[in-house]
Structure 1
Amino acid sequence: MSEIIKTDICVIGGGSGGLSVAAGASQMGADVVLVEKDKMGGDCLNYGCVPSKALLAAGHAAQAVRDAGAFGIDVTLNGITHQAVHDHVKGVIAGIEPHDSVARFEGLGVRVLKGAAVFTSPQEIEVDGTRVQAKRFVIATGSRAMIPPIEGLTETPFYTNETIFDLTDTPQHLIVIGGGPIGIELAQAHRHLGAEVSVLEMASIMPKDDPELVDIVRLRLQSEGVNLHEGVKVVSVEKSSEGVSVTIDRDGAEEVITGSHLLIATGRQVNVDGMALKAAQVGFDDRGIKVDGRLRTTNKKIFAIGDVAGGFQFTHKAGYDAGVVIKNALFKLPAKADYSALPWVTYCAPELASVGLNEEAARKAHGEIRILRWPFSENDRARAERVTDGLIKVITTPKGKILGAAIVGAHAGELIGVWTLAITKKLKIGDMASMIAPYPTLGEVSKRAAGSFFTPSLFSEKTKKLVRFLLKFG
């Protein structure tokens, strides 16, 4: 007879979202079982956010040496030891691993099962012979790199974000298929670390971001020597004497690009295979598991969160989802997910961060809008640190309701936080303009952009007449 475990909540997937539910629920008094078939910490810790940011940090450090002459610093970059860079990346992962480990979660009272979960009924799963019956299930299985159906790809060596961080030598020429956030981050990181890099994108790079701000990123990448091939179709790939050859179609004409290594960064595919979701009466498609506003699946006793639930695919979104599920599953509150103030960041240099509606979406939803801009070149701190390639762009209604904000520039990911708070708390642009920002900081760009909302009326002829009239009285 197989063992039967009866529990309050069973979480399937030990990535950021699943771990947040398991830790929170257990510490709040629920009996929790966590199932993970691979590495604890999921994609974010092992193959995504953590290693990519560690690699970017190494690349930025190398680039800082190259750019030091602008500050009067005479220094030469003598070389890069990619094995040491590799060790740095793995060391960062190792430093975080204990926080996501089986031992830590067992210490929190969570029972951890290693293996693949398969639903045998709407209320039960089986994990390597062990049956788990739960009052509520939470599916948090995440996503993986999508492998496109390119001719010759199955016969050609290639990397994804799950394998690229195992390289211990700098690629001579890295060809990246895909110009989204993952492709652009890894392209620039490897370029900073000395590789020749070519990016192949069928549309334009970073297509989900504001084109005006993407232009600033594009110019930086090109100035650093990244070869951007936009608006091209990848026809085929094959192994060659140099490593790999990629045939592309550009406006009906074919050309071949050769390189030493190939990275596939063409998007993500949700992990729904092998769980027998039909047995659980859980609806799903290629985009993910179908959920309602409370993140319940078509089986109301089963929730889905993070990447596998479709929509935005960010670690912080999965963490937010975890809070929604805990409110519903533990406290029986009809909490609903609200992504109107969900920020996202691409951590290239300069960084590009956004929250809320962009210009196109705002016009479609509200018709008349106000667009506020402030360039980093008008910021004293940016000038002092020579990071003037940047722009903040804020979208409001004519009456000052903040609809969205986007920032491209140094530390944009940190700067977007205040706009996320503003949208979350439904602040008006006047609240942002009245904020006292310390001088000199990059944060002043937010105050300046907000203040520009009032410039037309504040310095109008009507205001001048009023001031002159009032001054007549002493």
Structure 2
Amino acid sequence: MDDLTCDVAIIGAGTAGLAAERSARSNGATTLLIDETFGGTTCASVGCMPSKLLIAAADAAYGVRHAAVFGIGATATIDGAAVMRRVRNERDKFVAGVEDSIAKIPDAVKICARAKFTGATTLELSDGRTVHAKAVVIATGSAPMIPETFDAVKDRVLTNETIFDLATLPGSVGVIGAGPLGLELAQALVRLGVETMVFDKGNAVAALKDSHVADALHAILEKELPVVLGVETQVVPDGDGVRLSWSGESSGERHFEYLLVATGRPPRLEGLGLETTGLALDDHGTPTYTRETMQCGDAPVFLAGDADHDRPVLHEASSEGTIAGRNAASFPDVTAAERMVPFSIMFTEPNVAVIGVVPEDGAADVVVGTASYTDQGRAKVMACNAGLVRFYADAADGCLTGATMAGPGVEHSAHLIAWAIQSGWTATETLALPFYHPTFEEGLKPALLAICHAVHAKPPPFRDDGFLPGT
């Protein structure tokens, strides 16, 4: 077979890889996009979209089940097969949309094969051909990690890449991992009538660094399902399921029909031949790179998306792919880009968001503003008055630097705070913006006011810093 040449070779056709290919080609480079399956993005096929479809069904069931608080009698009857059928049908539409986008890429650009480095800019393909490129973008994504301790029950192990293909809802699921993925799916399952427990060897839910918000969130979630922290687990086959035992800060055992293992998604770099590239690798075997350029050292190799194990969220994958593709096309003329403020959301109820920099407790150069949703007006109206938000700001001037938020409607209000932080606003400047009454966003005001007082900055002159009880 003939060897292939191009300006930029991109390995992986997920969100980051597709963005990198578009960016490189729009900047005048000839490109090759190499992928084993061209099966759609992680988000569309096994991540963001199917998980939100399951959560949507769960929220509907929860709303019916809790309608009595508003004086409305209702009963939720859950058809597990119908729930999963809709999840798959709608998911497949999202995947089809991605496939339509991929179909618009010129056929000569798409190479369906596995790629392995044989040098910094040469790739060996599984079909026997070799690619010679001027620059390479690694956008191979991530994959579920299943520890060897689950080998004995592997036929009963689910991950985010397999759970949505169940024909119907299971009777019981033990969730291993209290990170965002595990908690989102666990809460959805329990709201859909699946007996569910969550286990984690760590001591904080959702990997939150702010212990105050983590503790508040843990207490809220445990009203719906047990979330057992600080434990090690052992599993053995048990008839038509798994016997799971745990020990540590608590102990016990029980039978589950399935285990959902959500212990992380490390970069998909195995077998890529990185040892031939001369790149420096970190302790996890990931190439070291510069966030502002996505370049690995000074080599013509760039990293983007979940493959870099930095900010595994879609909007960052798209941004990183765009940066990597542009710089790969212009190599060796590499340009630094201004990165977005770090921002992640967990779609449990309450929603959780982490924005910017979360300081260590007691950091001298940081002030913290706190607001509880326990007595917040709109939250009480909606019977979802639970949650805690904490904002961090520079102690010198009250400039917002970060936030950890767990509360109703946070998936929306967190965007406002992320924009404020990225814009470099102070708490005073943020308070000067309109806050409509009655909304969840009003619940952010006490935290902002607390920062103003801590740095001895006056709130805007037209802003009343008094609140009527419960509003």
TM-score by length of 1: 0.88
Report the Cα distance in structure 1 between the residues aligned to 2:195 and 2:356, rounded to whole angstroms: 36
> 2:346 maps to what in 1?
346
Output aligned runs, 1:41-120, within 5 Å.
Answer: 41-77=40-76, 79-101=77-99, 103-109=100-106, 111-120=109-118
Given the superposition, is the C-alpha separation of residues 443 and 141 from structure 1 closer, same or farther in structure 2, using an over 3 Å criterion?
Answer: same
Confirm or deny: 8 A CA contact 2:8 2:329 kept in the other structure: no
Q: Which sits farther off after the overlay, 6-15 or 155-164? A: 155-164
The match for 1:384 among 374, 381, 386 is: 381
Given the superposition, is the C-alpha separation of residues 283 and 8 from structure 1 closer, same or farther in structure 2, using an over 3 Å criterion?
Answer: same
> 1:395 maps to what in 2?
392
**1:417 deviation in Å?**
1.2
**1:242 deviation in Å?**
4.6
Question: Is 1:207–2:204 an aligned residue pair?
Answer: no
Confirm or deny: 8 A CA contact 2:20 2:326 kept in the other structure: no
Confirm or deny: 8 A CA contact 1:202 1:233 kept in the other structure: yes
> 2:134 maps to what in 1?
135
Given the superposition, is the C-alpha separation of residues 445 and 452 from structure 1 closer, same or farther in structure 2, using an over 3 Å criterion?
Answer: same
**1:53 deviation in Å?**
1.4
Q: Secondary structure at the match of 1:270?
A: coil
Confirm or deny: 8 A CA contact 1:396 1:402 kept in the other structure: yes
Q: Return 5+ residue gaps in structure 2 as ranges.
A: 462-471
Opposite residue 33 of structure 2, the aligned amino acid is L
The match for 2:288 among 290, 297, 304 is: 290
**1:25 deviation in Å?**
2.9
Confirm or deny: 8 A CA contact 2:67 2:73 kept in the other structure: yes
C-alpha RMSD over aligned residues: 2.5
Q: Percent identity?
A: 27
> 2:465 maps to what in 1?
none
**1:126 deviation in Å?**
2.8
Report the Cα distance in structure 1 between the residues aligned to 2:221 and 2:251, rounded to whole angstroms: 24
Opposite residue 104 of structure 1, the aligned amino acid is S
> 1:426 maps to what in 2?
424
CA deviations 1:253-296 (Å, max 9, x no partner) are: 86422111111111122211122122233343525222134221
Given the superposition, is the C-alpha separation of residues 337 and 248 from structure 1 closer, same or farther in structure 2, using an over 3 Å criterion?
Answer: farther
> 2:191 maps to what in 1?
192
Report the Cα distance in structure 1 between the residues aligned to 2:355 and 2:322, rounded to whole angstroms: 20
Question: Is 1:146–2:135 an aligned residue pair?
Answer: no
> 1:373 maps to what in 2?
370
Given the superposition, is the C-alpha separation of residues 389 and 255 from structure 1 closer, same or farther in structure 2, using an over 3 Å criterion?
Answer: closer
Confirm or deny: 8 A CA contact 2:6 2:134 kept in the other structure: yes
Opposite residue 349 of structure 1, the aligned amino acid is E
Confirm or deny: 8 A CA contact 1:13 1:141 kept in the other structure: yes
Confirm or deny: 8 A CA contact 2:19 2:325 kept in the other structure: no
Confirm or deny: 8 A CA contact 1:392 1:405 kept in the other structure: yes
CA deviations 1:174-207 (Å, max 9, x no partner) are: 1111111111111111101101111111122223
Report the Cα distance in structure 1 between the residues aligned to 2:431 and 2:451, rounded to whole angstroms: 9
**1:221 deviation in Å?**
2.2
Report the Cα distance in structure 1 between the residues aligned to 2:221 and 2:356, rounded to whole angstroms: 26
Question: Is 1:265–2:262 an aligned residue pair?
Answer: yes
Confirm or deny: 8 A CA contact 2:153 2:242 kept in the other structure: no
**1:155 deviation in Å?**
5.6
Confirm or deny: 8 A CA contact 1:433 1:448 kept in the other structure: no
Given the superposition, is the C-alpha separation of residues 356 and 397 from structure 1 closer, same or farther in structure 2, using an over 3 Å criterion?
Answer: same
Confirm or deny: 8 A CA contact 1:432 1:446 kept in the other structure: no
Report the Cα distance in structure 2 between the residues aligned to 1:459 and 1:280, rounded to whole angstroms: 56
Given the superposition, is the C-alpha separation of residues 75 and 23 from structure 1 closer, same or farther in structure 2, using an over 3 Å criterion?
Answer: same
Confirm or deny: 8 A CA contact 1:12 1:138 kept in the other structure: yes
Report the Cα distance in structure 2 between the residues aligned to 1:440 and 1:189, rounded to whole angstroms: 28
Given the superposition, is the C-alpha separation of residues 260 and 444 from structure 1 closer, same or farther in structure 2, using an over 3 Å criterion?
Answer: same
Question: Is 1:328–2:327 an aligned residue pair?
Answer: yes
Given the superposition, is the C-alpha separation of residues 53 and 151 from structure 1 closer, same or farther in structure 2, using an over 3 Å criterion?
Answer: closer
Confirm or deny: 8 A CA contact 1:3 1:129 kept in the other structure: no
Report the Cα distance in structure 1 between the residues aligned to 2:80 and 2:422, rounded to whole angstroms: 42
Q: Secondary structure at the match of 1:289?
A: coil
> 1:471 maps to what in 2?
none
Output aligned runs, 1:236-275, within 5 Å.
Answer: 236-251=234-249, 255-275=252-272
Q: Secondary structure at the match of 2:143?
A: strand
> 1:468 maps to what in 2?
none
Q: Secondary structure at the match of 1:443?
A: helix
Given the superposition, is the C-alpha separation of residues 369 and 328 from structure 1 closer, same or farther in structure 2, using an over 3 Å criterion?
Answer: same
Aligned length: 451
Confirm or deny: 8 A CA contact 1:354 1:405 kept in the other structure: yes
Report the Cα distance in structure 2 between the residues aligned to 1:94 and 1:3, rounded to whole angstroms: 36
Opposite residue 131 of structure 1, the aligned amino acid is T
**1:305 deviation in Å?**
1.2
**1:240 deviation in Å?**
0.6
**1:151 deviation in Å?**
6.4
CA deviations 1:71-110 (Å, max 9, x no partner) are: 2222111x21122211222223222223321x53342447
Q: Secondary structure at the match of 2:253?
A: strand
Given the superposition, is the C-alpha separation of residues 35 and 381 from structure 1 closer, same or farther in structure 2, using an over 3 Å criterion?
Answer: same
Given the superposition, is the C-alpha separation of residues 303 and 219 from structure 1 closer, same or farther in structure 2, using an over 3 Å criterion?
Answer: same
**1:123 deviation in Å?**
1.8
**Greater RCO, CA 8 A, separation 6+:** 2
Given the superposition, is the C-alpha separation of residues 446 and 41 from structure 1 closer, same or farther in structure 2, using an over 3 Å criterion?
Answer: farther
> 2:467 maps to what in 1?
none
> 2:466 maps to what in 1?
none
Q: Secondary structure at the match of 1:19?
A: helix
Confirm or deny: 8 A CA contact 2:8 2:31 kept in the other structure: yes
**1:306 deviation in Å?**
1.7
Report the Cα distance in structure 2 between the residues aligned to 1:458 and 1:305, rounded to whole angstroms: 41
Given the superposition, is the C-alpha separation of residues 346 and 153 from structure 1 closer, same or farther in structure 2, using an over 3 Å criterion?
Answer: farther
Report the Cα distance in structure 2 between the residues aligned to 1:100 and 1:281, rounded to whole angstroms: 34
Q: Secondary structure at the match of 2:405?
A: strand
Given the superposition, is the C-alpha separation of residues 120 and 455 from structure 1 closer, same or farther in structure 2, using an over 3 Å criterion?
Answer: closer
Q: Return 5+ residue gaps in structure 1 as ranges.
A: 464-474
**1:395 deviation in Å?**
1.0
**1:165 deviation in Å?**
1.1
CA deviations 1:323-378 (Å, max 9, x no partner) are: 32244234534215646x211111111111010122427x44xx142211222344
